Amino acid sequence: MSRGYSPAWRKFTIVILRPLLYALLKREWRGRDNVPREGGLIIAANHISESDPLALAHFVYESGRYPVYLAKSTLFEVRFLRNVLRGTGQIPVYRDSADAALALRDAETALLAGECLMFYPEGSCTRDPELWPMTGQTGVARMALTTGAKVVPVASWGAHELLPYKKGEQRGLAGTLKKGFHPFPRKTMRVIAGPPLDFSRFEGRPLTKATLREATDEIMRAIADLLGELRGQEPPGELYDHHKVLEERRGAERPAGEEAW
């Protein structure tokens, strides 16, 4: 085996999934030349559906790279799936566990070995009612600035029609989507990749909270602008902050006179 994966397992997934995705989905792809063909690489993408990882992986593979995801550790407990995930070099994420730091260590190792890692900086499917990207978490920026890996912003659109995410806001565009899997008629997966982001101005700067937030905001703005191109719309000037919205709701629900500690 090579670094953490088996070439045979990767070939197996390509043989099985590639023709299936070509049959299931139509494609409108742009910017594949912006994906470097070698070297440690971070793909930073928006997240609108639990089905977009496969559509995004297809785009990245056809751009010349094999995608490696940070997947929930519980998926590695499923008998056959565990073999596929470990065999292809996917990285388990142990949330709320003493082993949580292992994912970051393994991700750094993979990037330094020249792998292409797939990240959703939002941390979950967007809760924005109109399905624009939310504000991002700083882990992707930290990983990029620590390893020197290039960051390619990517936006996708269409997976929400195939499999809507129904745990978020049920208003706006999100509220118009019907729950369930909708393969017919065939859905079009629109994906666009922008050029690698220039983080040269961050070189030598300490990884403070302000530095990581600045780099993260740049990543999310690039993704939002690319999504605007796909949708033919102007993205919001201020991205949806799910944590801020939750705090505001808690404040509104707090009895009058009660202090927030």
Provide the token pair at 58: 């297809």
Q: Quick one: average pLDDT of 115-120?
A: 97
> In this model, does residue 255 exceed pLDDT 60?
yes
How far apart (Å, rounded) are the C-alpha atoms in residues 188 and 58?
Answer: 13
> In this model, does residue 185 exceed pLDDT 60?
yes
Using CB atoms within 10 Å of the CB of residue 139, give its burial: 0 to 12 exposed, 13 to 18 middle, 19+ buried.
middle
- Who contacts 141 (Cβ-Cβ below 8 Å, separation ≥6)? 121, 212, 215, 216, 219
Provide long-range contacts, Cβ within 8 A and 24+ apart, for 165-169. 165/48, 165/49, 165/50, 165/125, 165/126, 167/125, 168/125, 168/126, 168/127, 168/128, 168/129, 169/127, 169/128, 169/129
Q: How far apart are the first and last CA of the chain?
A: 53
Per-residue model confidence (pLDDT) at position 249: 73
- The number of beta carbons lying within 10 Å of the beta carbon of residue 46 is 29
pLDDT in tens, 76-114: 999 999 999 999 999 998 876 556 567 788 999 999 999
Q: Phi and psi of 195, rounded to 5°?
A: -70, 155
| Residue 167 pLDDT level (bands cut at 50, 70, 90) | confident
- The C-alpha angle 220, 157, 18, rounded to 5 degrees, equals 110
Per-residue model confidence (pLDDT) at position 251: 74
Please name the amino acid found at residue 53.
P
| Residue 256 pLDDT level (bands cut at 50, 70, 90) | low
| Residue 260 pLDDT level (bands cut at 50, 70, 90) | very low
Percent of the chain clearing pLDDT 70 (strictly above): 92
Least confident of 74-78, 154-158, 197-201: 74-78
pTM, full prediction:
0.92
Per-residue model confidence (pLDDT) at position 258: 57
Q: Are 78 and 55 in contact (CB under 8 A)?
A: no
Q: Are 94 and 100 in contact (CB under 8 A)?
A: yes
